[in-house]
Amino acid sequence: MNQLRQLTIVEQRAVTARLHWLTLDAPDLARSVRSGQYLLLRCAEAGSYDPLLRRPLFVAAAAAALGQIALLYEPAERGLAWLARGRAGDTLDVLGPFGQPFALDRRTRTLLLIGAGAGLPALLLLADAAAAQGVAVTLLAGGADAASLPPAYMLPGEVEYQTTPGAATDLLAGQQVVPPEQAGNANKRQRAAAVPIAQPPRAPSPIGWADQICAALPAAQLPALAEAIRAVKYRWERGFASVLLEGPLICGVGACGVCATKLRNGTRMLCSDGPVFDMRDLPA
């Protein structure tokens, strides 16, 4: 239910040189929030409206037994820098949750998650929920550097976690398989051969074994994801691949129109109709 809440900080700590982990006491949210939903936090002192706009953050973890949720964020601008100064016992003015979440198909047994950017924390919550249901989960994550990526300990031990200092979609190509006996001599033979030697084969794309794909990526990486899927599947059914789109999440209810996005089935509001959409609805 989208409502105004006063949430108390349980803990705040830096988990990398870039990222902060914020734990909040929120029993009702801990029971009901789903991956892909976000909160709008007022990041200003009481009585102040500077900055004016609330900051959207995706829920990264929920512990119903403890009545707590957690947010993972980078305090890279002044609103979130204010939030990073919060300490245990402080109260935050929060609206939400907002947005349409990811939907895990009950038939899914192998789940591929691909994330980068502001939406990546939402995949942590999804990975935890899916693993708890016995689903085999792989998370591919990309970022500017290691400090911009969630530490591995934030994921269940059974989740396979691969990272890259670049686009998350780079991990979809599979890695080159070089026999050990060739690894040391490949470059030497390449230079000496009159005819270039064949490139070593690549491991199969993880898309080939995935029952379902859920992604949270910047717009610039979406074409690479679509191309990678088409390389493995000429056609795929609705529900196979869904993506959390990045964009301005201002009001949460579609009233301001700032987040209007053109899809194949018409114009939709990221903040209320999304931010999660089926890949088949994205423009080519």
User: 150 with 80, same domain?
Assistant: no
Question: Based on the structure, what is the number of domains in the chain?
Answer: 2
**Interstrand relation of 110-116 and 136-142 (parallel, antiparallel or unpaired):** parallel
CB-count exposure of residue 157 (10 Å: 0-12, 13-18, 19+): exposed
Average pLDDT, the chain: 90
pLDDT(50) > 50: yes
In degrees, rounded to 5, the angle at the alpha carbon of residue 148 between the alpha carbons of residues 85 and 90 is 20
- Per-residue pLDDT at 2: 74
For residue 255, tell me if it sits in a domain: no
For residue 185, tell me if it sits in a domain: no
pLDDT(250) > 70: yes
- Per-residue pLDDT at 284: 76
CA-to-CA dists, residue 150 to 14, 140, 147, 249, 262, angstroms: 11, 11, 8, 22, 31
- Per-residue pLDDT at 144: 94
Of 40, 70, 45, 69, which is closest to residue 57 (Cα–Cα)? 40
User: 126 with 223, same domain?
Assistant: yes
Contact in structure between 250 and 258 (CB atoms under 8 Å) = yes
For residue 281, tell me if it sits in a domain: no
The residues that bridge with 70 in the sheet, in sequence order, are 23, 61
For residue 143, tell me if it sits in a domain: yes
- Per-residue pLDDT at 3: 87
- Per-residue pLDDT at 177: 35
- Per mean pLDDT, which range of 39-53, 148-162, 196-210 is the poorest? 196-210
For residue 7, tell me if it sits in a domain: yes
User: 13 with 48, same domain?
Assistant: yes
User: 20 with 74, same domain?
Assistant: yes
**CA 237, CA 211: separation in Å to the nearest integer?**
11
User: 23 with 58, same domain?
Assistant: yes
User: 160 with 242, same domain?
Assistant: yes
Can you read off the two tokens belonging to residue 164? 């890259």
For residue 179, tell me if it sits in a domain: no
Q: What is the CATH number of the domain that holds 116?
A: 3.40.50.80
pLDDT(198) > 90: no
The residues that bridge with 92 in the sheet, in sequence order, are 7
pLDDT(186) > 70: no
User: 30 with 78, same domain?
Assistant: yes
Q: Residue 245 carries which DSSP code?
A: E
Q: What is the CATH number of the domain that holds 17?
A: 2.40.30.10
Percent of the chain whose pLDDT exceeds 70:
89
Domain that holds residue 60: 3-97
Region 156-185 average pLDDT: 72
User: Which stretch of DSSP H or E encloses residue 29?
Assistant: helix 27-32
User: 23 with 79, same domain?
Assistant: yes
Can you read off the two tokens belonging to residue 42? 């007022």
For residue 102, tell me if it sits in a domain: no
User: 52 with 156, same domain?
Assistant: no
Contact in structure between 84 and 75 (CB atoms under 8 Å) = yes
User: 90 with 121, same domain?
Assistant: no
Residue 224 three-state SS: helix
Region 248-261 average pLDDT: 95
User: 29 with 74, same domain?
Assistant: yes
CA-to-CA dists, residue 218 to 4, 27, 169, 222, 259, angstroms: 29, 31, 11, 7, 15
User: 71 with 121, same domain?
Assistant: no
Render pLDDT for 122-136 as a digit per residue (tens, 0 to 9): 999 999 999 999 999
- Sheet strands side by side (includes 110-116): 160-164, 136-142, 110-116, 212-217, 241-245, 276-278
**CA 219, CA 53: separation in Å to the nearest integer?**
23
**Residue that finishes a domain, picked among 76, 97, 118:** 97
